[in-house]
Amino acid sequence: MFNLILFGPPGSGKGTQSERLISRYGLKHLSTGDLLRSEIAGQTPLGLAARSYMDRGHLVPDEVVIEMISSALENNPHAHGFLFDGFPRTTAQAEALDKLLSQKGTEISVVLALQVSEEELVKRLLKRGLTSGRSDDADESKIRTRYAEYQKKTAAVAEYYRKYDKVVEIPGEGDVDEIFQALSKEIDIRDCA
């Protein structure tokens, strides 16, 4: 199995690049942001609980997202690999993911980390907010809160995987196609079969 984490701060292009990568490599896409938004749209108890965190730009509690990922892994027993988008976002989530994958006899193959400056992230998300209808894109202070959450809780996830020599940094500013080519090159040299 080939299991990829697409890593980066909010607005770094994870969702954008994930769509292209799953279409080229046939990986199963698991985006915790998308899963949470679909729970919110369905007005489930989980969605209602998650919404209050997301609306403020905060991370949803670990146990909620870990449970969601655990079910998604169980529901896809025949996937030949997974692309994790927006997960893990804390070291506790990374440890839980390693455990879940090892129970399936597999592991993370590589962490591709998109590098984008804070000012560019804010610009992108404010632009997306004009049409996305997402409350967390709606104003600059929420976007800055999301970035602060990333610095405080999520950046450590890259350090966690760096210990296992699994992190490759990819410049995430510029042409979407060129960034896609750079990501694909790293996957190709690891032989995503």
Instruction: Compute the least distance from the CB of residue 193 to ligand B4P, in Å.
Output: 27
Instruction: Compute the least distance from the CB of residue 188 to ligand B4P, in Å.
Output: 20
**Number of neighbouring beta carbons within 10 Å of residue 172:** 25
Closer Cβ to ligand B4P, 11 or 81, answer by number: 11
* Structure-token match 């190709």, residue found: 188
Does residue 94 contact residue 163 with C-beta atoms inside 8 Å?
no
The closest residue (CB) to ligand B4P is 33
CA dihedral 184, 84, 162, 160 (to 10 degrees): 170
Just list the catalytic residues. 14, 89, 128, 134, 146
Closer Cβ to ligand B4P, 24 or 80, answer by number: 24
> What CA–CA distance (Å, rounded) separates 150 from 6?
14
Instruction: Compute the least distance from the CB of residue 191 to ligand B4P, in Å.
Output: 26
Q: What are phi and psi of 31, to 5 degrees?
A: -110, 115
Binding region for ligand B4P (CB under 6 A): 10-16, 32-33, 36, 53-54, 59-60, 65, 86-87, 89, 93, 124-125, 128, 136, 146, 176, 179
Angle at which helix 118-132 crosses helix 140-149, to 10 degrees, equals 130
Instruction: Compute the least distance from the CB of residue 68 to ligand B4P, in Å.
Output: 9
**Number of neighbouring beta carbons within 10 Å of residue 166:** 16
